[in-house]
Chains A and B, each alone.
Chain A
Amino acid sequence: MPRLVFTMIVVALTVVVGGELATVRGQALSGEYRIGVLEPVTGPLAFEGKRHMEGLEIVRDLINERGGVMGKKLVFTVADATDPTAAASEANRLITREGVKIITGTFSSRLCGAASEVAARHNVIYWESSCVDPRFNKRGLKHVYRTEIDATGFGWYNVEFIAKHLAPRLNLRPNQIKIAFLSEDSSYGQGVTESARQRAKTEFGMQEVMLEYYNWQTLNDMTPTILKMKQLNPDIVHHISFSNDGVLFWRQAKEQNFLFKALVHAGATGYGGSDFGKALGNDANGVFALLEPGPGFRLEALKPEGQAIEKAFRDAVQKRTGTYPFGAHQLAGSGLWLLKLVLDRSQSDDPEKFRAAVMSLDLPVGSMINGWGVKFSELGQNANERVQHYMLQWQDGQLVTVWPEEFSTLRAKWIPLGAWDQRK
């Protein structure tokens, strides 16, 4: 008899505990909740758009393994936003024909403005996970949100790194640094560059020796710019590149034997994309790019909940792509995970209830994927100081995390950059 009672208790416990675990890991979800996803999956921006889609799909699956959103399985209706016109018309279609109440996307500063305007006109929630155009959240659109840092934040971090990490290692005071600003001319490039220029000049008194913008889509030769730079002899080149312009500059700088002490970029494009390393191999060594975390990132530096989701995310990306997450995966993934946190709290896609939930979220740095925290401003912008960013450096064909040092096991090298053939 006692054995029978013991057996029954064990069986009952197994059922209860197993059931509880099932509700956490594979909860029986009641129906589907559909959101609109706008990404450029064809056309000239597709190289990043497709990676964003990958990041979104990976985190969607993680979310559905963890109870979905509002108790429902999260599903996507995907629309192709190849350019601003398509972004606007597809946003309109998602709302009027597909009936979605939330749209997320679009990664590019070229697209997010047009798409979010349409969403705002229909009183639909627009949840941007990437574009960094500083004007995005300054248009008075109440239900438009951005989870990623804006371009002014990129500029702030870059100058912080130059003034506080590079300058001492170059045996220079910040106001002795000669800096050349070069950038592609989209709102992303201009936003980062202008905020960096302002902080470099007003806060640190750095000496700006050059400012030049260009259109990356029609750029075939950077030799004239490089020859001009050689004459100006900057210590730091602050270059915001968008795609192959980074490869072109670096390759032609080597050809022309243009020597300077460091190059600093921001964002997952250009120097921050994996293509840069593929194109140049070890010749890429030494370039800095402000990004989401890469190899060398210390999980232990995060809060326990941040460690758990960051690890699950990394493992899922590794399983699907065979690589460490790229910036596009990380931006899209963290944005979608944050959307889940908000919907879990609001339990509604009513714009007012959703907004109340967004504003009530207050998570410190280290709580989320990428080690980010959450605190939205009234403008719908996640606070730059909570969206922790990291300086990565190309080292032997890989972008690795080197700063802030408390988040990294690896350290920056080649400060200053030596001769081109010495960066091994």
Chain B
Amino acid sequence: MLLGGIYALISVGLTLIFGIMRVVNFAHGEFLMLGMYLAFWAFVVFTADPYFVVFVAIPLFFVVGLVVYGLVMRGVIHASHNVQIFTTVGLSTVLQNVALVAWSGDFRFVRPWHLSTVLRAGSTIFNLTQVVASLIAVTLTLALVAFMKWTHAGRVMRATAQDRDAATLMGIDTDRVYRLTFAIGIAAVGAAGVLVAPLYSVYPTAGLQFVLLSYVVVVLGGLGDMLGAMLGSLIVAAVEVAGSYLFGAAWKEIFYFILFILVLVFRPAGLFGQRGAETLGV
């Protein structure tokens, strides 16, 4: 369940961008990696705990999202999916190699005091850092759901996702909506990067180990459905852990990809998405 919390934390930003902008952001893992590096350098230079750094990361990555949207994404937002994919893959490669040049390929580690702290409940042992990351994932998801449901900006974003042309005719500045969406999505994944940094090694391609899995989570949960993404994360993590335990670690991906294919065949809108939503992109 805790592993699922981490997957949810990483996936929530992706599902937001995927669902509203209909852009497949292949650079999602690299923004996660940048969040991990932020946690690392803040820890090394200022001895700052990632739980503190996360409050810096959210506005910082929000700005990064705005800048990247303006420089890169705005030009391709109306282009074909192929162009969008090439653009985000290119962005991913650029970010990886910038990190490689700037910080080398060495593995870096964040070791706050709570890294080795474990919580015991009977014979079950939990890592405190994982527990906190999962709790924040739940909080963040619920906050985003509330934002989308009950704020004017959220309603505007949902309207744009349902029909971009109609939203434009109603006077909605769709470019502004996409900019906001992208910035929120990047802020979420940047925060995720900071929170998972103590659990995993920090290196230029660290995001790759999560990004494919995030797509599985997002499709399982339903495109753009944040609660669905959270439930999808728990399902993927459960399948992964059970598969590893019962059949061996080599089998874990086979099981969740079988589930992924079954969902695509029988419920293309995702396990929790609205039927037909896949054609609308919501």
Contact = CB atoms under 8 A, between A and B. Distances in A.
A279 B118 contact: no
Nearest to A273: B107
Contacts of B100: 42-43, 46
Interface stretch (B70-78, B157-165, B246-254): B246-254
Given A44-B205, A243-B107, A248 B200 contact: yes
A44 B33 CA distance: 13
B209 A278 contact: no
B250 A213 contact: yes
B249 A213 contact: yes
Nearest to B243: A224
Contact of A47 (B115, B203, B212): B203
A255 B208 CA distance: 25
A409 interface: no
B36 to A, nearest CB: 12
Interface in B171-228: 200-201, 203-205, 208-210, 212-213
A244 interface: yes
B105 A47 contact: yes
Interface centre among B97, B115, B209 (most CB of A within 10 A): B209
B151 interface: no
Interface string B116-130: 101000000101000
A85 interface: no
A218 interface: yes
A255 B212 contact: no
A247 B241 contact: no
B139 to A, nearest CB: 21
A222 interface: yes
B210 A220 contact: yes
Interface centre among A45, A185, A244 (most CB of B within 10 A): A244
Interface residues on B, range: 35 or more
B249 A214 contact: yes
A220 B249 CA distance: 11
Interface string A40-80: 00111111111000000000000000000000000000000
Per DSSP, chain A at the interface is: helix
A267 to B, nearest CB: 15
B250 A220 contact: no
Contact of B213 (A218, A222, A254): A218
B97 A42 contact: yes
Contact of A44 (B208, B248, B249): B208
A243 B208 CA distance: 14
Contacts of A225: 244-245, 249
Interface in A250-265: 251-252, 254-257
Nearest to B205: A44
Interface string B82-116: 00000000000000110010001111110100011
Given A46-B100, A247-B201, A279 B109 contact: yes
A275 B209 CA distance: 18
Given A42-B97, A218-B213, A279-B201, A212 B250 contact: yes
Contacts of A283: 116
Given A213-B249, A218-B213, A275-B107, A255 B244 contact: no
B240 interface: yes
A184 to B, nearest CB: 10
Given A46-B100, A46-B204, A275-B106, A219 B248 contact: no
A221 interface: yes
A139 interface: no
Contact of B250 (A185, A252, A254): A185
B136 interface: no
Given A50-B104, A212-B249, A213-B249, A255 B118 contact: yes
Nearest to B242: A224
A43 to B, nearest CB: 7
Interface of B: 3, 6, 96-97, 100, 104-109, 111, 115-116, 118, 125, 127, 200-201, 203-205, 208-210, 212-213, 240-242, 244-245, 248-250, 252-253
Interface of A: 42-50, 185, 212-215, 217-225, 227-228, 243-244, 247-248, 251-252, 254-257, 273, 275, 278-279, 281, 283
20 contacts: A42-B100, A47-B105, A185-B250, A214-B252, A215-B253, A217-B209, A218-B209, A218-B253, A220-B240, A221-B244, A222-B249, A243-B201, A244-B107, A247-B109, A251-B115, A254-B116, A256-B125, A275-B201, A278-B109, A279-B107
Given A47-B105, A220-B200, 5 more contacts: A46-B104, A219-B209, A225-B249, A228-B245, A281-B111
